[in-house]
Amino acid sequence: MIEANVLVIDDDDDILLSAKLFLKQHFSQVITCKSPKEINVLLSRNEIDIILLDMNYQKGVSDGREGLYWLEHILSIDKDYVVILMTAYGNVELAVQAIKKGATDFILKPWENEKLFATLSAASKLRQSNKKVKKLEKIHSSLQKDINRKFEHIIGHSEPIKQLQNTLIKVAPTDANVLILGENGTGKQVFAYELHQLSQRKNQIFMHVDLGALNENLFESELFGYAKGAFTDAKDDKPGRFEMAEGGTIFLDEIGNLSLPLQAKLLSVIQNRTVNRLGESKERKINVRLITATNMPLNEMVAKGTFRQDLLFRINTVELFLPGLAERGDDILLLASHFLNTFSSKYHKSNLSLDHKAEHMLLNYQWPGNVRELQHVIERAVIMSDGLKISASDLQLSPQKFGGTNQVVQTDMGLEEMEKLMVQKAIDKHKGNISRAANDLGLTRAALYRRIEKFNL
């Protein structure tokens, strides 16, 4: 039995019946229809591989023009359909014309069953290889998208970011598995890519897989691939993401979202460094660098039994913790100015800069959405700005998300009040430790004491 769905279109009931009786012995599905006008509906509802199309439908007409018209129509829906034309009037010129227009083959009526079978089985092979090429093109274009994606380089000079960069330099050339932890929008993807760029695999693929976006059913086929026939839709062999990343780096994002059964499957791949495609017993060796990331508290999850300890031990040979943006001091302004440049040029607004009040606001905001939120805030401000300066009110920051003092910052707050708030915030943060608070604010202890006195804190 050949795995192919055949659609036969002919206005003659006898032809349809005899075609169906014969073809269904050899092909997985045979659909017949009397009028080509039904083509659109039939093709949209069924996965058709081969179309056997009559050339003439009106009584007494035998010039084949109708067949040519419908052939063009079918190929305009999808140029990869395999169409075989049939006519009772053997006409070489018509056959040549049809082939020129994209028909795969031509058959004369009345047909010999062996000839019909041979033509259709050759056509089904062509269809299979067309489908394979299409699938490979899809894989290629999805990989190409990954390859061409623009990644930011890490921006930041704050102490925690400097330390992280030093760690990256040490860890990158090794093949150690790295787990990146941090809240949403802290730049886990940016760090993962930098790690790849600093490694010896930098000229190979960096494969990003968002595990949070894969449901239970897709997980295995997407990551490990499948063999033909593994499930109903598995018409061809397909390599998974691990195999596609061969020689390079695979970045499994949102690993904290994996269910326990999927954690077990992933663990076995990481332990054995082999994958089994679904529906296949053959073990395939893989050579990939593993980087994982999550914003979830994996240690707590281990304690609660929702994340496997053995998997955690496998993935966290080195652990990087990315601090929230609010912990990065002046990096906020560095990043803001970077985004300002990016969006100014994107929206054709030159020389935009932040005024002092706006800078103070950015430095005092809590940034629950971290760098991603800053990026959005600056983009919006660039779009809304009228002049050359971005003001505090252009930023549209939520007043509830300022400082740790429960004080609400108004967008029309004066510099003095803002300074008072920053001082209070630093003191609260360091639980009254003046040296540390002064250090954070970039002041000497004496200067900080003067302000405490001035603001009556």
Ligand X SMILES: Nc1ncnc2c1ncn2[C@@H]1O[C@H](COP(=O)(O)OP(=O)(O)OP(=O)(O)O)[C@@H](O)[C@H]1O
Q: Which residues here bind ligand X, judged by CB under 6 A?
A: 152, 154-156, 182, 184-190, 295, 371-372, 375
CB of 301 to ligand X, least distance (A): 16
CB of 293 to ligand X, least distance (A): 6
CB of 194 to ligand X, least distance (A): 9
Whose Cβ is closer to ligand X: residue 122's or residue 155's? 155
**Closest alpha carbon to 178 in 29, 336, 319, 355:** 319
Q: Residue 67, exposed/middle/buried by CB under 10 A (0-12, 13-18, 19+)?
A: buried
Whose Cβ is closer to ligand X: residue 177's or residue 186's? 186
CB of 306 to ligand X, least distance (A): 19
Whose Cβ is closer to ligand X: residue 105's or residue 194's? 194
Whose Cβ is closer to ligand X: residue 349's or residue 372's? 372
CB of 168 to ligand X, least distance (A): 12
CB of 151 to ligand X, least distance (A): 7
Residue 411 has a CB neighbour count (10 Å cut-off) of: 15
CB of 147 to ligand X, least distance (A): 17
Whose Cβ is closer to ligand X: residue 153's or residue 282's? 153
Whose Cβ is closer to ligand X: residue 313's or residue 321's? 321
Contact between 278 and 220 (Cβ < 8 Å): yes
Whose Cβ is closer to ligand X: residue 67's or residue 156's? 156
Q: Give buried/exposed letters for 206-215 (b at 16+ CB in 10 A, else e).
A: bbbbebeebe
Whose Cβ is closer to ligand X: residue 7's or residue 374's? 374
CB of 355 to ligand X, least distance (A): 23
CB of 184 to ligand X, least distance (A): 4
Contact between 2 and 13 (Cβ < 8 Å): no
Whose Cβ is closer to ligand X: residue 156's or residue 403's? 156
CB of 186 to ligand X, least distance (A): 4
Whose Cβ is closer to ligand X: residue 172's or residue 371's? 371
Closest residue to bound ligand X by CB = 187
CB of 394 to ligand X, least distance (A): 20
Whose Cβ is closer to ligand X: residue 237's or residue 319's? 319
